[in-house]
Amino acid sequence: MRRKLIAGNWKMNASKVQCEALISALLQNIPHSGGADMAVCVPYPYLAQVESALRDATIRLGAQDVSEHDKGAYTGEVSGAMLADFSCKYVIVGHSERRSYYGDSDEVVALKFLAAKRAGLIPILCLGETLEERERGVTRDILKRQLDAVFDRVSIAEFAGAVVAYEPVWAIGTGKTATPEQAQDAHAFIRDQLRLKSATVAAETQILYGGSMKASNARELLVQPDIDGGLIGGASLIADDFIAIATAA
């Protein structure tokens, strides 16, 4: 039985004051059922602050990107070891905003995935099609291409333990959520692709849904058999909403 994971992706939002308010509101209202794991992926400058605020808490810390390199002359980059140094457990790799605005190619995403693994972090590998690709009927081809690019460099043994997030680009930050059927279909396809490599890894990999998940639609998505949690952008910035999603999980 896979545990559910509800991970917040704060993107480039927050200030020291907001971090303090949000984390303390989360800690006061965290569901005690023990049903779902929770994590927040915060901007780099706030890692230290959130690390210390989450000390002894069950909410885990994550980052939103990682360098494909381990150290050296890469101005502006942040390594996996640095993230691990701040007690990060998770790191998002291949978010569609990185892919489309910062040129993270499928190959770079695979290298970042490996860098995360080398540092002992759990990569949250994002996959997803654009609206144009969905309308052309090539959603599965896109998901397969993005996944295959990782498996060009990463063995299934190295992949084990990673998290996948299916994030249809047209649903991110648009208020337009995939229907539970659309999401389940994509998740089942991703799991089938993993099963071609290893039945065990396929059965154990958490596949999160991301794209305008909110309190009002979380439950219908999270009851789908292959949806193991959510990667939450906008709604993770509002403590009540994020808690409501975790409660639904």
Q: Which residues bind ligand PGA (CB under 6 A)?
A: 9, 167, 172-173, 210-213, 231-235
Catalytic residue flag (residue 32):
no
Q: Which of 68, 95, 129, 187 is catalytic?
A: 95
Looking at the Cβ atoms of 54 and 235, the one nearer to ligand PGA is: 235
Looking at the Cβ atoms of 82 and 235, the one nearer to ligand PGA is: 235
Closest CB 101 distance from ligand PGA, rounded Å: 12
Closest CB 132 distance from ligand PGA, rounded Å: 18
Buried b (16+ CB within 10 A) or exposed e, 166-181: bbbbbbbeeeebbebe
Catalytic residue flag (residue 69):
no
- For residue 232, count CB atoms less than 10 angstroms from its CB and return exposed for 0-12, middle for 13-18, buried for 19 or more: buried
Looking at the Cβ atoms of 13 and 29, the one nearer to ligand PGA is: 13
Closest CB 71 distance from ligand PGA, rounded Å: 28
Looking at the Cβ atoms of 81 and 215, the one nearer to ligand PGA is: 215
Q: Which of 129, 133, 167, 187 is catalytic?
A: 167
In the block, tokens 């193991």 appear at 228
Is residue 144 classed as helix, strand or coil in its secondary structure? Answer: helix
Is residue 6 classed as helix, strand or coil in its secondary structure? Answer: strand
Closest CB 39 distance from ligand PGA, rounded Å: 12
HEC assignment per residue over 168-179: CHHHCCCCCCCC
Cβ atoms < 10 Å from Cβ of 32: 7
Active site residues: 95, 167
